[in-house]
Amino acid sequence: MKRIIVLDVATRQSAADEFIRAWETGQPQGDARISFETPELLWKVLTAKRWELLKALCGAGQVSIREAARRVDRDVKSVHGDVIALLNAGVLDRTENGGIEFPYDAVKVEFLLQAA
């Protein structure tokens, strides 16, 4: 089964409502989800370089930061900074042996742009 993470834009209230529904029913409400309060915050976290990193880690399992840097052909120090930002946002996981993992096979980004 393909594990998908959805990165979306949602108000705190709608994210809280979704959490409460899942808690009350004991059932997840679809794919795993990380919500950002604004599109600007989503793009602040999900920069072009970080998106490239996620693509390289998608379905790769556990890797070291050095291996992640090699996969995207970047220096370890800059990849380390991106990894920390993605860990803080909950997009990446830290493994028990100090590696990192993007535990999903696919990423879906959702947000709506509409007239004011």
* CATH number where 95 lies: 1.10.10.10
**CB distance 12 to 18 below 8 Å:** no
Tell me the pLDDT band of 38, cut-offs 50, 70 and 90.
confident
- pLDDT digits 0-9 by tens, 95-114: 999 899 999 988 888 877 77
Q: Residue 78: give the domain boundaries.
A: 4-110
Q: Cα 97 from chain centroid?
A: 21
Domain annotation covers residue 116: no
Domain annotation covers residue 32: yes
pLDDT at 30: 65
Q: How many domains does the chain divide into? A: 1
Domain annotation covers residue 24: yes
Domain annotation covers residue 29: yes
The residues, any chain, with a CB within 8 Å of residue 22's CB and separated by 6 or more, are 28, 29
Nearest to 66 by CA among 80, 56, 53: 80
